Amino acid sequence: MYNAHFGLRELPFGITPDTSFFFAAPSPQEALNTLLVAVKNGEGFMKITGEVGTGKTLLCRKFMASLDDSFVTAYIPNPFLEPRTLMMALAEELEITLEQNIDQYHLLKAINHRLLVLARAGKRVVLCIDEAQAMPLETLETLRLLTNLETGKRKLLQIVLFGQPELNRKLQLESIRQLTQRIIFHYHLGPLSRDDLDFYVSHRLSVAGYAGARLFARDAIKVLHRASRGVPRLVNVLAHKSLMLTYGQGRQQVAAVQVRAAARDTIAARNYSPLLWLGATLALLAAGAALSWMVFQ
């Protein structure tokens, strides 16, 4: 609705992970660099954690897009699967033709054979698992068994787990300690700082085609950071709503008042920013007091 009004080619603050909008803030860029170095060194297990909305899925897709032709990638977005189903999903990603009602032994053998064929062709296989905190314990143990597939020189399968902090607590369980010991590289994604958030907003606007002067006023950025606590997904939601409000009012620049209104309309922002709601509550009380005085008079 507001693209033409602000001179945009596309919506700048969508919540669908789009690698063209990847912003190289210190935290995601360090995580990306860690992953690229790790897979090129042939490490078996890697782990990326972060709170909800910090950009794990976007990082995952950016990582896979950054790998060259010497890598074959497999992606499992929903790992809440029993062990056999997980292996079936991996086989599908690797384009393995399976016999109907194949048993566990032959399924693992087929995966191993495919990995060996790819290795002889000079390919490295990387399996990326999103939302890994949802994996059952027995399925996590299956991953450990998959990393046992190797030649005399290197691992046939490298695995990257992307998950919320609950994944760390699950990996501390005694029953899967062998898996935890195999995780060589790990990184935790944090929120954006206020300065990074300012650059983040400008970056996404630029990618979307904006070429004008500052669209979000500095006081708007301040409120946006306070309401979102620097969580990228929530930044996107609030920025999008703020642009809608600014467009609806016929204005050309987003001010703090529009961001506050967007925050009041967003449940997650209410939870993130009690100070913002304290200010809104005091304003309502003051307005009520003024109205009562007028009625009394």
Under CATH, domain 42-189 is a member of which superfamily?
P-loop containing nucleotide triphosphate hydrolases (3.40.50.300)
Exposed, middle or buried: residue 202 (CB in 10 Å: 0-12, 13-18, 19+)? middle
pLDDT band at 84 (very low <50, low <70, confident <90, very high): very high
DSSP annotation string for 89-119? HHHHHTT----TT--HHHHHHHHHHHHHHHH
Q: By C-alpha distance, which of 70, 69, 63 is closest to 32?
A: 63
Q: With b meaning 16 or more CB within 10 Å and e meaning fewer, what string describes 209-227?
A: ebeeeebbbeebbbbbbbb
pLDDT band at 6 (very low <50, low <70, confident <90, very high): very high
pLDDT at 149 over 90: no
What is the Cα Rg of the chain in Å?
24
Q: Residue 142 is encoded by which pair of tokens?
A: 């299956």
pLDDT band at 151 (very low <50, low <70, confident <90, very high): confident
* pLDDT (0 to 100) of residue 271: 58
Within 13 Å of residue 269, how many CA atoms lie on the same side as its CB?
A: 26
Q: By C-alpha distance, which of 147, 85, 176, 148 is closest to 168?
A: 176
pLDDT at 213 over 70: yes
Residue 228: C-alpha distances to residues 4, 217, 231, 270 (Å):
27, 16, 6, 9
Taking residues 251-260, what's their average pLDDT?
A: 96
* pLDDT (0 to 100) of residue 289: 43
Q: How many residues does the chain have?
A: 297
Q: What angle (nearest 5°) sits at the alpha carbon of residue 33, between those of residues 29 and 37? A: 175
pLDDT band at 220 (very low <50, low <70, confident <90, very high): very high
Helix pair angle (83-93, 137-146), 10° resolution:
50
pLDDT at 227 over 90: yes
* pLDDT (0 to 100) of residue 1: 82
Chain CA centroid to CA 172, Å: 23
pLDDT at 275 over 80: no
DSSP annotation string for 187-225? EEE-PPPHHHHHHHHHHHHHHTT--SS-SB-HHHHHHHH
The pTM of this model reads 0.87
Domain boundaries, the chain: 3-14+192-278, 42-189
Task: Tell me if 106 sits within 8 A of 126, measured CB to CB.
Answer: no
What's the CATH fold of domain 3-14+192-278?
Helicase, Ruva Protein; domain 3 (1.10.8)
Q: Which of 43-47, 145-149, 196-200 has the highest mean pLDDT?
A: 196-200
* Alpha carbons 5 and 3: distance in angstroms, whole number: 5
pLDDT at 277 over 90: no
* pLDDT (0 to 100) of residue 270: 63
* pLDDT (0 to 100) of residue 165: 95
Q: What angle (nearest 5°) sits at the alpha carbon of residue 183, between those of residues 110 and 123? A: 40
Mean pLDDT taken over the chain: 89
pLDDT at 107 over 60: yes
pLDDT band at 100 (very low <50, low <70, confident <90, very high): confident
